[in-house]
């Protein structure tokens, strides 16, 4: 018997730089400044500032390598505290950085009948309030590994970054009867080219220089949500 045709479409959104101006470094810096003790806050904040050049170099090399390096800085942080403060982080950092037209983009694809999916290299507990605020039910994000209630500095697999986003989208589509050829994807970064290329309707949003050139080459739509 022939399998029924896929009829559902989805809209997949990158977060940092696409829907919001802030990024995972801003989130960590906020947590670093809100350690249980003043000394701990000062030490974490100083370490973050000194590490920025290394973060930039790792990000140019590989988004996956950047994530693996960056999330080591969460080692030793309390799971309860990270989750508890996520709402405050959203109010202080993430919500003010949402691009003015981001909600319009989400509402437009909702009206088109698309399943709404956030696909983020951020941490799940930091992405959850944003997804709720935008009315997006599904969010796929990185997950910190915890041992005895404290972060080990490692991520659970699969890592969500770069090319792995396309693999995760394929798996999600197969499990949820989503037709990727009829689906949309939105990102600002050339590192997300695989994510954009796997759908039939890719869109460059607030694109960096390399992605803007690719979008022009393939006649992809380019949006500015700022």
**Per-residue confidence (pLDDT) for residue 54, from 0 to 100:** 54
In the annotation, is 16 catalytic?
yes
Does position 193 have pLDDT exceeding 70, yes or no? yes
Does the model's pTM come out above 0.85?
yes
Q: Give the pLDDT confidence of 3-15 residue by residue, as tens digits.
A: 544 469 999 999 9
Residue 28 confidence class, pLDDT cut points 50, 70, 90: confident
Q: Give the pLDDT confidence of 109-147 residue by residue, as tens digits.
A: 999 999 999 999 999 999 999 999 999 989 999 999 999
Main-chain phi, psi angles of 144, to 5 degrees: -70, 145
β-bridge mates for residue 16, sequence order: 20
The single-letter DSSP state of residue 181 is G
CA angle at 65 for the pair 160 and 148, rounded to the nearest 5°: 70
The 3-class secondary structure across 92-122, one letter per residue, is HHHHHHECCCHHHHHHHHHHCCCEEEEEEEE
Long-range contacts, 137-145 (Cβ 8 Å, 24+): 140/168, 140/172, 142/67, 142/71, 144/71, 144/74, 144/79, 144/82
40 touches 208 (CB < 8 A)? no
Fold type of domain 10-223: Rossmann fold (3.40.50)
Domain ranges of the chain: 10-223
Residue from 16, 124, 188, 192 carrying the catalytic annotation: 16
Does position 195 have pLDDT exceeding 50, yes or no? yes
Q: Give the pLDDT confidence of 30-80 residue by residue, as tens digits.
A: 888 887 664 555 555 556 554 555 555 545 555 666 777 788 889 999 999
Count how many Cα atoms sit within 13 Å of the Cα of residue 66 in the half-sphere of its side chain: 21
Main-chain phi, psi angles of 72, to 5 degrees: -65, -25
In the annotation, is 14 catalytic?
yes
């Amino acid at each position: 018997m022939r399998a029924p045709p896929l009829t559902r479409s989805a809209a997949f959104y990158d977060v940092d730089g696409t829907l919001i101006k802030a990024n995972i470094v801003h989130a960590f810096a906020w947590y670093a400044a809100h350690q249980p003790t003043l000394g701990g806050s000062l030490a974490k904040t100083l370490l973050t500032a000194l590490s920025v050049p290394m973060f930039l170099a790792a990000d140019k090399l590989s988004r996956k390598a950047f994530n693996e390096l960056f999330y080591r800085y969460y080692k030793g942080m309390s799971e309860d505290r990270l989750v508890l403060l996520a709402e405050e982080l959203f109010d202080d950092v993430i919500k003010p950085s949402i691009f003015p037209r981001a909600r319009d983009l989400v509402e437009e694809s909702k009206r088109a009948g698309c399943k709404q999916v956030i696909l983020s290299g951020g941490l799940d507990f930091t992405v959850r309030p944003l997804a709720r605020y935008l009315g997006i039910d599904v969010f796929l994000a990185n997950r910190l590994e915890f041992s005895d209630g404290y972060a080990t500095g490692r991520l659970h697999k699969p890592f969500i970054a770069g090319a792995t986003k396309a693999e995760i989208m394929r798996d999600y589509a197969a499990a949820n009867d989503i037709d990727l050829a009829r689906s949309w994807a939105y990102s600002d970064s050339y590192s997300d080219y695989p994510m954009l290329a796997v759908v039939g309707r890719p869109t460059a949003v607030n694109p960096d220089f390399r992605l803007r050139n690719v979008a022009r080459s393939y006649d992809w739509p380019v949006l500015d949500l700022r």
